Amino acid sequence: MSGSDGGRLADSGASRGGDGSDRGVRSGADRDDRRVGEDVHASDDDVATGPELIVVGGGMAGLVAARRAALDGLRVTLLDAGDVTGGMLRAGRLGDTVIDIGAEAFATRGGAVERLLDELGLADDVVEPRRLGSWAHADGDAYRLPLAGLLGVPADPSSPEVLDALGADGARAAAADATLDAAVGLDATSLAELVRARMGDAVVARLVTPVARGVYSLDADVLDHRALAPGLGAALAETGTLAAAVQTVRAAAPPGAAIRGVRGGMHRVVRALDAELARLGVDVRTDARVDDIVATDDGWRVRLADGAELQAPRLLLTVPELAARVLDGTDDGDATAASRGAIADGDDAPSSPSAGAGVPLEEVDAIPPRRRDSTVPAEVVALLVRAPQLDAAPRGTGVLVGEPAGDVRAKALTHVSAKWPWLAASLPAGVHVLRLSYGPDEGSCVPRTRGLDVDELRALAVADASTLLGVELAADDVLALDRHEWRIPEPAARIGRGARLDELRAAATATPGLDIAGTWIDGTGLASVVPAAEHAARRLASTQSD
Ligand SMILES: Cc1cc2nc3c(=O)[nH]c(=O)nc-3n(C[C@H](O)[C@H](O)[C@H](O)COP(=O)(O)OP(=O)(O)OC[C@H]3O[C@@H](n4cnc5c(N)ncnc54)[C@H](O)[C@@H]3O)c2cc1C
């Protein structure tokens, strides 16, 4: 990976400066406190025509940042390794029907995504999903997830839905929350520990685990509740029960906070951004994998896999392994994590802030072991099925799976055409779109569907969909199938990951002309990614290069 002539910013060896001279480079935090490009050595011609900002990665973070920087007056070049821009926002095809095979919704919290859609002329196409609720599947049976809850934790443990989901013993244990001292669970770090201490094992296994695995791709015992639901611990201390704390945190959510989509699919946002970047004169290059980055006197030299090189005084990195390599010489955005779980789908779980995150799959064998450890592999399988028995949406908008084993291998299923009326309206009567997601087997770093041919995959998906939806589907009912593999960075809420990300953030802040953005550092989902990318672009645009 490394260039023959250059050291990375964190290398202790010499790198070749933009003027051709060798110079020592130090870690980001130690680097000379110069303003970006103060010692620019590029020729007048380069200065006139070369980029003032290079953005690496053309997912939503990179696209949004490139747009903002161009609007703020910078000449921008955006580089993406894929064949199209968009990253985790990607169109899939089921015959003539175009669907999202990546992210299919956004959370309205903060308002940044809706503002962006407004600016892109898509405001009239923002749509609400049907409020059908979602289900969970565990230990061979299906049950509704209580509507009033947070991360699967019920706001009312005595509700009939909780009784239905947990049975009498489980519901009794959950209700014991009201009888415990307020201090019980206050010292817990993990979500599972907190909930187990106050509401018992059944709430963890049957309500919290399906949401944690389905939405965050991890078990609840490695998720930090303070990162997932800031304020929950303080509300527990104040109100004295976890149920009341859940109500308090829910009540504090801004009015209207919810999930929305875009008529026609979220991939339309990418096409709108592509058009806007073209209009703004941004140089967008696909099939442009960045292999190496070198700090120079002039800023940054970026080397592509095909050997081409670009130079700019400012650099924005949205790819975790490149950011970590530039900032501290490691191969990974998280050198400590061990992956577990699967795809972030079915984000309509009640009160879950948003769905998960991912990066397009590269050849897995080419991924260094440490990188494999901190990403979660998953495959999304979309089906177009002729199945009038699904007209009644028997499992609402979808099903989250507690433990994929035995009767079901999928992690989650979304009944996409039940969730989005615009899609249902575009389909013939009795035809539906389903999306299933598959994670890895224990200890594996590829989705369990890797290697299945299309017939085998269809058979597996149909069997899982039948079980999860409680209807009989046959392979012949499948009119079309599409599939896509993802590698999803582990969420920032994984216990221990926050400190690592803080380190990288601090190093980036201390490095003139460099910033980092993207789901791996800014959090799960578009509501986190979009405002952070805009902020990073503004910060870079406000630094002078001459
Ligand atoms: C299946 C799925 C469902 C999801 N559902 C939702 C949802 O419903 N709601 C929601 O809010 N969020 C959802 N998300 C998450 C959301 O899509 C992401 O948080 C967001 O799109 C991440 O954007 P990003 O730019 O940070 O990363 P990415 O989209 O991963 O973009 C990174 C880009 O970098 C490029 N790249 C990688 N390496 C290099 C390199 N060396 N050189 C150049 N380019 C490189 C990649 O090609 C990619 O285009 C979902 C994600 C997935 C996978």
Give the Å distance between the CA of 317 and the centre of ligand 1: 13
Are residues 95 and 79 both part of a single domain?
A: no
Residue 15 pLDDT: 29
Are residues 100 and 201 both part of a single domain?
A: no
Are residues 371 and 482 both part of a single domain?
A: yes
One-character DSSP codes across 218-257:
S-GGGBBHHHHSTTHHHHHHHHSSHHHHHHHHHHHSPTT-
Residue 330 pLDDT: 65
Ligand 1 neighbour 214 (Cβ under 6 A): no
Are residues 365 and 482 both part of a single domain?
A: yes
Q: Which of 267, 359, 487, when mutated, tests ligand 1's pocket best, judged by the most ligand atoms within 8 Å of its CB? A: 359
Are residues 37 and 159 both part of a single domain?
A: no
* Ligand 1 atom nearest to 107, measured from its CA: 11
CATH number at residue 290: 3.50.50.60
Residue 336 pLDDT: 30
Q: In the sheet where 478-489 sits, what is the strand order?
A: 141-144, 135-138, 398-401, 412-415, 431-438, 375-386, 478-489, 359-360
Q: Whose CA is nearest to atom 8 of ligand 1?
A: 105
> Is residue 138 one of the residues assigned to a domain?
no
Are residues 415 and 327 both part of a single domain?
A: no
Ligand 1 neighbour 266 (Cβ under 6 A): no
Task: Tell me the residue range of the domain where 424 lies.
Answer: 91-113+346-489
Count the domains in the chain: 3
Residue 332 pLDDT: 55
Report residues of the chain scoring pLDDT below 50.
1-47, 333-373
* Ligand 1 atom nearest to 357, measured from its CA: 15
> Is residue 498 one of the residues assigned to a domain?
yes
Residue 183 pLDDT: 95
Ligand 1 neighbour 438 (Cβ under 6 A): no
Residue 41 pLDDT: 37
The helix or strand, by DSSP H or E, that contains position 15, with its residue range, turns out to be strand 14-16
The first and second tokens of residue 187, run together, are 């010292």
Are residues 105 and 39 both part of a single domain?
A: no
Ligand 1 neighbour 526 (Cβ under 6 A): yes
Ligand 1 neighbour 318 (Cβ under 6 A): yes
Rounded Cα–Cα distance for residues 134 and 181 (Å): 32
User: What residues pair up with 299 in beta bridges, in sequence order?
Assistant: 296
> Is residue 7 one of the residues assigned to a domain?
no
The secondary structure of the chain in percent helix, strand, coil, rounded to multiples of 5, reads 35, 20, 40
Rounded Cα–Cα distance for residues 56 and 399 (Å): 36
Are residues 321 and 417 both part of a single domain?
A: no
Task: Answer with the one of 223, 252, 281 that is the final residue of a domain.
Answer: 252
Residue 442 pLDDT: 81
Rounded Cα–Cα distance for residues 76 and 50 (Å): 9
Rounded Cα–Cα distance for residues 379 and 343 (Å): 7
Q: Which of 88, 114, 310, when mutated, tests ligand 1's pocket best, judged by the most ligand atoms within 8 Å of its CB? A: 88
Are residues 96 and 74 both part of a single domain?
A: no
Ligand 1 neighbour 262 (Cβ under 6 A): no
Residue 17 pLDDT: 30
The helix or strand, by DSSP H or E, that contains position 304, with its residue range, turns out to be strand 299-304
